Amino acid sequence: MSLITWTKEQFGTNVSFADEQHKVLFGMLNDLDAAVPGGDRNVIGEKLNTLVNYVVDHFADEERHMTETNYPDYTAHKAEHTKLLETCGGVAAKFKAGELEITQDITAFVKDWLVNHIPNVDKHYGPHLNSKGIN
């Protein structure tokens, strides 16, 4: 069973690049979550690195579109991205150093962040980006 499933109703932003990237992100999180119980540490590390790198790229894409279109809530939105990246970066560094194991509590944390962030924050940029020709 998947940890998180993308649906247009719950997670759709009406911005194609974001929705497609969110779907990929959900798949990566599900892959990591599935690998965690009794999984090989190297495999978990690869999945974690892939996920974190993808999130960095995804946030950069969102932020680029927001700055190019003068999105009014850019500063607050970027602050949320920065906070998550700091948290995930710290987890990844501790995992790499052998100081922490990735558990389903960690994947559940990321899921909960996405479940709150996309509907309550990302959906707000949809109308703005759409009005600037980004659909």
pLDDT at 103 over 90: yes
What pTM does this model have? 0.96
Number of domains in the chain: 1
- Answer whether residue 88 is part of any domain: yes
pLDDT at 129 over 90: yes
Instruction: Check which CATH number belongs to the domain holding 111 and give it.
Output: 1.20.120.50
Residue type, 17: F
- Answer whether residue 33 is part of any domain: yes
Burial 48-70 (b: 16+ CB within 10 A, else e): beebbebbeebbeebbebbeebe
pLDDT at 1 over 90: no
- Answer whether residue 1 is part of any domain: no
Q: In terms of residue numbers, what domain contains 116?
A: 8-131
pLDDT over 70, % of the chain: 100
- Answer whether residue 2 is part of any domain: no
User: Quick one: average pLDDT of 78-89?
Assistant: 96
